[in-house]
Amino acid sequence: MSTGFEDFKFNKQLLNAIADAGYTEATAVQQKAIPPILNGQDVMGIAQTGTGKTAAYVLPIIMRLKYAQGEHPRALIVAPTRELAIQIEENVRTFATYTDLRVVTLYGGLGPKTQIEQVYKGADIIVATPGRFMDFYLAGHLVTKLLQVLVLDEADKMMDMGFMPQINRILEVVPRKRQNLLFSATMSDKIRELSANFLEFPTVIEVTPQATPAQTVTQKLYLVPNIRTKINLLKYLLDGETKIKKLMVFCKTRTNAEEVYKFLHRRYGEQGVKVLHANKGQNTRINSINAFKDDKVKMLVSTDVAARGIDVSDVSHVINFDVPFVIEDYVHRIGRTGRAFNSGEAITFCTPAEEYYIRKIEKLIRQEIPVSALPGEVFVEETPYEERQAQAKEIDEQKRKENPEFKGAFHEKKTVNQRKKFDAAKDKKYRGKGGKTKGKR
């Protein structure tokens, strides 16, 4: 049963802003989360990206705060990355357009001067990354005693990124009496532990079974021997796929992202593709995201820094050039497509050394990813010696993870070689002695 936003007790300003933004019916997470949040309850939401969870907490917060008041913030939203923080700020501004509520976003990568000035002008809602928030608080720029609502968004990602100490500090410096909202794409043991410390008798909302890819995404897996063949397959798919309207290509390292970007850049030019990774400056990253959002470029190559929380509509395809090491990131990556009831396709390239992670991903999402045969037109390159060695070493590491007793092909090879060397040296020494003896006679 679909629910319109009129079914919630929103005021006219909020309903007008929602209508202006083009939203007509609430998504599943919004239907389940908005009523208890409006009611002042603590809420724990397990919802993957693309389900509309940002609006699920932003709308009730705006409804609660209603209008600008005083100088100090009354709501704090904490997010793991600056990209997500900027996006949440955009959501707040969109829905608060008919109110005088003030929102300030705090994140690193820029000098703090402008952000400090904005805080001192007065703020009702602060959106912040954990590190920058604590820097501002410790420097005395923020007063937290009036905070009524605290949101931890993408809590699992914050833990993966090592922000737990900062989160614990934040929990120490905000008022005890407050409403707490925690959103996460996965329900790990760490998240359960955090929720036990952080939430009081929470309403738990699980929109889809844990870590399940959106039903609107078709998944496909290609088994390839090496990186060069991955490039050939990417070329083949781009040449032949007329259905690719908007594409995100995910790589596990900055080096791979840069290489894939250079390859695509040579073929499609600056107007065809942008790249996003941690080595790029803040302005470059924001410009790349905006160019992709505004359809100025058709393709965005990225590391997992962009896998979460970046809401770009109409991404028709996601290509995992590499399989992610953090297996939960697979769900977030492919969640970039098939958003808001649209269908999408997620294609993954997998080398022998990455099959280990595919098995773990399939276990996580509780489904097999269908394997497609490599098209005959794709030229299969021979794996260079160094890459072959690196793959063998990685496979050994994986086996050792599963079985600490495993010594590994590398170890066995080394042992055999060492024995051969030892025997040869011994033989040489023995024959040398024999030679001396002969001489003496």
Read off the CATH number of the domain in which 54 is found. Answer: 3.40.50.300
d(CA 39, CA 149): 12
Together in a domain, 261 and 112: no
Q: Are 163 and 25 in contact (CB under 8 A)?
A: no
Determine, yes or no, domain membership for 202. yes
Q: Which residues of 270-303 are buried (b: 16+ CB within 10 A; e: fewer)?
A: eeebbbbbeebeeeebbebbebbbeeebbbbbbb
d(CA 423, CA 139): 67
Per the structure, the count of domains in the chain is: 2
d(CA 375, CA 24): 43
Together in a domain, 77 and 183: yes
Determine, yes or no, domain membership for 135. yes
Together in a domain, 197 and 227: no
Together in a domain, 151 and 267: no
pLDDT at 23: 81
pLDDT at 81: 87
Determine, yes or no, domain membership for 435. no
- List the structure tokens of 219: 């998944």
Q: Are 156 and 328 in contact (CB under 8 A)?
A: yes
Together in a domain, 66 and 104: yes
Together in a domain, 165 and 289: no
Q: Are 321 and 349 in contact (CB under 8 A)?
A: yes
Q: How many CB atoms lie within 10 A of CB 360?
A: 15
| Distances, alpha carbon 51 to alpha carbons 24, 39, 339, 380, in Å | 15, 22, 7, 39
- List the structure tokens of 316: 């028709």
Residues of the domain holding 252: 217-383
pLDDT at 26: 86
Together in a domain, 283 and 148: no
Together in a domain, 113 and 239: no
Together in a domain, 313 and 360: yes
Question: Of 182, 206, 230, which marks where a domain is finished?
Answer: 206
pLDDT at 77: 97
Phi-psi category of residue 58: left, alpha or beta, with phi > 0 → left and psi -120 to 50 → alpha:
alpha
Determine, yes or no, domain membership for 191. yes
Together in a domain, 163 and 186: yes
Determine, yes or no, domain membership for 426. no
Phi-psi category of residue 138: left, alpha or beta, with phi > 0 → left and psi -120 to 50 → alpha:
alpha
Question: Of 383, 400, 419, which marks where a domain is finished?
Answer: 383
Q: Are 243 and 313 in contact (CB under 8 A)?
A: no
Run means of pLDDT, 10 residues per run, the chain, 441 residues: 78 92 84 94 84 90 94 95 88 94 92 93 96 94 95 88 89 92 84 84 77 74 96 92 84 90 90 79 77 89 69 84 85 77 86 93 88 94 94 89 71 57 62 47 39
- List the structure tokens of 148: 């009524």
Question: Of 363, 383, 403, which marks where a domain is finished?
Answer: 383
pLDDT at 214: 62
Determine, yes or no, domain membership for 434. no
d(CA 106, CA 132): 6
Interacting residues of 232 by C-beta distance below 8 A, sequence separation 6+: 378, 379, 380, 381
Determine, yes or no, domain membership for 41. yes
d(CA 154, CA 151): 10
Together in a domain, 184 and 155: yes
pLDDT at 439: 44
Together in a domain, 199 and 223: no
